[in-house]
């Protein structure tokens, strides 16, 4: 009844003809062991704490240097009925729900729509929060890429991909590669832990799938001693992520449009080349084809490559968003990241505040505007009446003068 031995059956994890006893020829410090992964949890919690300190004390002065300024937000007027509906029912009421709210609150349709728009804007992350998020990721990806490159540059499989599978799975693990794996695993674990409070973008579901696939990929590849190919996957992904986060940082600042545009173009090229060309032609080809020169297919081989295919599908999805951004950029209409937070996609232009922001204050602004229009029309009507009377008066005087003559 014990399922644990079945999980570790060697035909699941090892090529045909290889046993766990063969792997145990390596010293304990030279071979990956499943319980090593337990260190990823405290590392994930450590990353969460480190991120809090970074966003609290380091990101704000960096943002001020780049001219990051939060937009002035107008808060929605206090309305217990609307607030209760917003928090418990829906952030975007339907037309029939708006009609019911009109009778419940004694407000016009325009006032209710404006209240919900302002209330949704209150929940949108500020530019300072977006900048802090991008800055944190930028520094991690930069550090991880530089550290990964330093520990891989002298590795034979960095230059010859067939070395990824030579003598597999009896391949000694270096401590630098162990820590490279654990830190990456801890970082992606921290991203999952922060999901409830992180900025939710249009690709939120795809991001969750990506984090889960990455964690499964890292965990499985570590246990199956796919560390050599795994380190190449991590290095390749970190390389373009640096450019993405740096472009976002400058995008949130003021007066850095040319820098942001340049970084965006470089990122787009790097992403499309690394994710749509190098990843399938080098990484997936190495795992699918070159590995077959050393061993026959087994369950772990199929599982690992399925996870790589999931990542590739996500690459294609994000490539579509990037190509849309490039198209808008070339047309001169690129205003924001295609992955920007959901509310910015749902809301209309925020800057017609003149009438909408004040419409929520009991309708005073709308009433003043209505009065101005009414007074203007009355004035036109009065002037028209006066002119008509003068014209009639002149006509009657001229008629009397003719009769007198």
Residues 139-151: tens digit of each pLDDT: 999 999 999 999 9
Nearest residue to 231 (alpha-carbon basis) of 310, 154, 327? 154
Mean pLDDT, residues 266-278 taken together: 95
Average pLDDT over residues 187-210: 83
Cα 128 to Cα 124, 125, 248: the distances in Å are 11, 8, 12
Count other Cβ atoms within 10 Å, centred on residue 279: 20
d(CA 218, CA 241): 18
Whole-number average pLDDT of the chain: 82
Residues 6+ apart with CB under 8 A from 199: 125, 129, 130, 133, 341
In the numeric block, the tokens 């032609």 are attached to 281
Residue 370's pLDDT is what?
44
% of the chain exceeding 90 in pLDDT: 54
**pLDDT score of 393 more than 70:** no
Q: What tens digit of pLDDT does each residue of 373-383 get?
A: 444 444 444 44
Q: What is the largest CA-CA distance in the chain?
A: 136
Q: Report pLDDT for 340.
A: 54
Q: What was the pLDDT predicted at 330?
A: 79
The helix/strand/coil state of 96 is: helix
Q: Look up the pTM and report it.
A: 0.76
């Amino acid at each position: 009844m014990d399922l644990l031995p079945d999980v570790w059956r060697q035909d699941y994890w090892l090529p045909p003809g290889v046993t766990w006893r063969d792997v145990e020829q390596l010293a304990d410090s030279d071979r990956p062991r499943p319980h090593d992964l337990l260190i990823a949890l405290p590392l994930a919690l450590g990353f969460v704490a480190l991120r809090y300190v970074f966003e609290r004390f380091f990101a704000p002065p960096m943002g001020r240097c780049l001219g990051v300024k939060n937009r002035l937000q107008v808060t929605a007027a206090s309305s217990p009925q609307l607030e209760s509906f917003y928090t418990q029912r829906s952030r975007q009421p339907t037309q029939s729900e708006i009609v019911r709210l009109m009778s419940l609150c004694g407000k016009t349709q325009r006032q209710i729509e404006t209240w919900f728009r302002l209330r949704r804007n209150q929940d949108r992350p500020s530019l300072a929060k977006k900048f802090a998020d991008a800055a944190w990721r930028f520094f991690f990806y930069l550090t991880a890429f530089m550290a990964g490159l330093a520990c891989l540059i002298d590795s034979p499989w960095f230059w010859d991909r067939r070395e990824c599978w030579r003598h597999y799975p009896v391949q000694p693990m270096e401590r630098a590669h162990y820590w490279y794996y654990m830190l990456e695993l801890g970082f992606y674990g921290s991203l999952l832990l922060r999901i409830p409070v992180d900025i939710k973008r249009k690709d939120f579901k795809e991001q969750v799938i990506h984090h889960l696939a990455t964690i499964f990929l890292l965990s499985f590849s570590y246990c199956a001693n796919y560390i050599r190919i795994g380190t190449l996957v991590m290095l390749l992904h970190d390389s373009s992520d640096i450019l993405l986060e740096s472009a976002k940082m400058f995008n949130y600042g003021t007066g850095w449009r040319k820098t942001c545009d340049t970084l965006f173009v470089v990122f787009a090229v790097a992403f499309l080349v690394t994710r749509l060309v190098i990843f399938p032609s080098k990484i997936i080809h190495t795992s699918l084809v070159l590995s077959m020169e050393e061993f026959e297919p087994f369950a772990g081989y199929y599982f690992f490559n399925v996870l790589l295919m999931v990542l590739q599908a996500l690459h294609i999805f994000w490539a579509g968003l990037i190509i849309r951004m490039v198209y808008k950029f070339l047309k001169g209409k690129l205003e924001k990241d295609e992955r920007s937070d959901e509310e910015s996609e749902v809301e209309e232009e925020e800057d017609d505040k003149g009438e909408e922001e004040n419409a929520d204050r009991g309708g005073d602004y709308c009433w003043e505007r209505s009065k101005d229009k009414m007074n203007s029309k009355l004035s036109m009507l009065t002037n028209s009446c006066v002119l008509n009377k003068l014209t009639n008066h002149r006509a009657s005087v001229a008629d009397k003068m003719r009769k007198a003559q």
